[in-house]
Amino acid sequence: MPYELQELAAISGMPGLYRLVRAARHGVLVESLDEKATRTLAPARNKVSLLSEISIYTQDPDQTVLLTDVFERIYQKHGTASPVTAKSSEGELTDFMASIIPDYDRDRVYLSDIKKLASWYGIVSKHRPYQEAAAPTESAAETTTETATETAPKAKRKAKADEPTADEPLSTGGVIGTTDEAPDADGNPEAAAPSKKSRKKAE
């Protein structure tokens, strides 16, 4: 299992990352993801973007990579210490991105997005434990095998019904670069909105 991002979010107008605590009357009660773990109210007018719903464009217009998977790739390649930060040079950042997602879309993923990715990974890897996938026990494996054997014909029919069509796009909740109210000089305003196809699928 990679880092758990379900409760973590980036909030417009508020630096860093936050853990969502609960909904409040005039916004969302959040806890800063740092040593202080300060609780504060994020006003309803601020945009809250869950990290688990953010993804990165690839050169295939119908394919994106979820941030959870990106973090997993970074961990497998570099561990908890990312080789770059938001202050790294442009060459270092783009080389890092290419090493993690070789086919990332160079036209829609900007330097500002890569800086965010590096910053977010640094925060999450520092304050969230990496969860290794638990190996199944022998008895559990046997039970799984027996169950799969008994239900194989039924499962086969179900798989056929659930099989996506060739032109069905990957479902995504958002695209990296959507959490800031305005991109910096390295960014592009059009990069902030996910593709229409991705947005429609998420809804």
d(CA 83, CA 197): 33
d(CA 137, CA 140): 5
Q: Does the pLDDT value for residue 135 go beyond 90?
A: no
Q: Does the pLDDT value for residue 56 go beyond 50?
A: yes
pLDDT mean over 127-135: 74
The answer to whether residue 153 is domain-embedded is: yes
pLDDT confidence of residue 67: 95
Q: Does the pLDDT value for residue 30 go beyond 80?
A: yes
pLDDT mean over 22-47: 93
Q: Which domain holds residue 156?
A: 1-132+147-203
The answer to whether residue 139 is domain-embedded is: no
Domain total for the chain? 1
- In the numeric block, which tokens belong to residue 21? 């605590």
User: Do 175 and 6 form a contact (C-beta atoms < 8 A)?
Assistant: no
d(CA 100, CA 114): 11
The answer to whether residue 186 is domain-embedded is: yes
Where does the pLDDT of residue 25 fall: very low under 50, low under 70, confident under 90, or very high at 90 and above?
A: confident
The answer to whether residue 137 is domain-embedded is: no
Q: Does the pLDDT value for residue 183 go beyond 70?
A: no
Look up the CATH number of the domain holding residue 189. 1.10.10.1650
Where does the pLDDT of residue 52 fall: very low under 50, low under 70, confident under 90, or very high at 90 and above?
A: very high
Percent of the chain with pLDDT over 90: 57
The answer to whether residue 26 is domain-embedded is: yes
The answer to whether residue 141 is domain-embedded is: no
The answer to whether residue 138 is domain-embedded is: no
User: Do 78 and 84 form a contact (C-beta atoms < 8 A)?
Assistant: no
Q: CB atoms < 10 A from the CB of 75, how many?
A: 17
Q: Does the pLDDT value for residue 73 go beyond 70?
A: yes
The answer to whether residue 44 is domain-embedded is: yes
User: Judging by DSSP bridges, how do beta strands 14-24 and 27-32 pair with one another?
Assistant: antiparallel
pLDDT mean over 50-57: 95
Percent of the chain with pLDDT over 70: 64
d(CA 110, CA 176): 10
